[in-house]
Chains A and B, each alone.
Chain A
Amino acid sequence: NAGVTQTPKFQVLKTGQSMTLQCAQDMNHEYMSWYRQDPGMGLRLIHYSVGAGITDQGEVPNGYNVSRSTTEDFPLRLLSAAPSQTSVYFCASSYSGLPGTGELFFGEGSRLTVL
Chain B
Amino acid sequence: DAKTTQPPSMDCAEGRAANLPCNHSTISGNEYVYWYRQIHSQGPQYIIHGLKNNETNEMASLIITEDRKSSTLILPHATLRDTAVYYCIVRNTGTASKLTFGTGTRLQVTL
Contact = CB atoms under 8 A, between A and B. Distances in A.
A59 to B, nearest CB: 7
- What secondary structure prevails in chain B residues at the interface with A? loop
A49 to B, nearest CB: 9
A109 B42 contact: yes
Contacts of A4: 43
Nearest to B35: A103
Contacts of B51: 100
| Band of interface residues on B | 20 to 34
B97 A42 contact: no
A70 B28 CA distance: 34
Contacts of A94: 97
Contacts of A21: none
Contact of B93 (A31, A59, A100, A106): A100
Interface string B38-52: 000111111001010
B93 to A, nearest CB: 5
B96 interface: yes
Which of the four size classes fits the interface of chain A? Answer: 20 to 34
A103 B34 contact: yes
A103 B46 contact: yes
Nearest to B1: A99
A108 B42 contact: yes
B49 A99 contact: yes
Interface string B89-111: 00111011111111110000000
Given A33-B99, A42-B103, 19 more contacts: A31-B97, A35-B101, A40-B103, A42-B87, A42-B104, A43-B87, A43-B101, A48-B97, A48-B98, A59-B100, A96-B96, A97-B95, A97-B96, A97-B97, A99-B31, A100-B49, A100-B51, A104-B44, A106-B45
Interface of A: 4, 31, 33, 35, 40-45, 48, 50, 58-59, 88, 90, 92, 94, 96-100, 103-109
